[in-house]
Amino acid sequence: MTDSALPATAPAWRRWLPLVVLAAVLALVVWQGWHRYLTLEFIAAERDALMAFVAGRYVTALLVYMLVYVAVVALSLPGGALLTITGGFLFGWALAGTITVIAATLGAVAVFLIARTAFGESLAARAGAWLDRLRAGFQEDALHYLLFLRLVPVVPFWLANLAPALLGMKLGQYSLATFIGIIPGTYAFAVIGSGLDSIITRQQQIFADCLQRQQAGAGTGEVCQLRLDTGALITPEMLAALAALGFIALMPVAIKKWRRASKGKDML
């Protein structure tokens, strides 16, 4: 038995129940269309209502934000970066960054435990020697590899949650690497969010001016839409900084392999 899996003798329904529940909740979210609210356009349209809710029920708003973030990560829904930006907009970058790191780690751990319980032992038994070799290589430097994946988003966040569970990473290592690895990117997006209000206000004014021109007959054929591009908020400098941190996380792995290669040459 591993630190995060049920015994092999546990009834099948106990191993599969968490996954079935997760899939059912995901189906409900998609069926109801709740995932469509994870857009900058929706945030901009509901700006005043959101700010009023936060002003009137601050603690409740924080708890709701945290629970929504845990659910988004656990259900592997897109929109984590947008939620972080929204948190920075609503609560300020420092508090939003801290709450988001905790919530994202909790959601990632939930996915890890569910995947380990449902798939871990059965997948390992069926995959054979090739997975054992991959598992051994990953486990040797799992902490640094996962830190790299968290710092540099070269793979989707949901895949970085599942792969370590299937490769036998320990829960403690996984939690620590996730918590530390998402801190830089989380606070970076939260800082972006702290300046989002001025962008929303400007786009709302552009949208209102467009509607006025249409009503006055001066904007014939013009399509008025309130649009905000998430990609425009992410600068190349920020991505370069995260990539640099990611490669720093891999330096211990590179040094270890270099030392092994040097010892091998000395023995020849």
Supply the pLDDT for residue 7.
Answer: 53
Residues spanned by the domain of 118: 1-268
Question: How many domains does the chain contain in total?
Answer: 1
User: Do 93 and 193 touch, CB atoms closer than 8 A?
Assistant: yes
Supply the pLDDT for residue 9.
Answer: 53
Supply the pLDDT for residue 59.
Answer: 95
User: Could you tell me the CA-to-CA distances from 259 to 99, 161, 223, 256, 267 in Å, in that order?
Assistant: 40, 30, 62, 5, 12
Supply the pLDDT for residue 230.
Answer: 55
User: Do 77 and 35 touch, CB atoms closer than 8 A?
Assistant: yes
Q: Which amino acid is at 21?
A: V
The tens-digit pLDDT sequence of the chain (268 residues) is: 445 455 555 566 666 777 788 788 888 887 877 777 777 778 877 888 999 999 999 999 999 999 999 999 988 888 888 899 899 989 998 999 999 999 999 999 999 988 888 776 555 555 455 455 556 666 667 777 788 878 776 777 777 888 788 777 888 989 998 998 888 888 888 888 887 777 777 777 777 777 777 777 665 566 766 666 555 566 565 566 566 666 666 665 555 555 555 555 555 5
DSSP 165: H
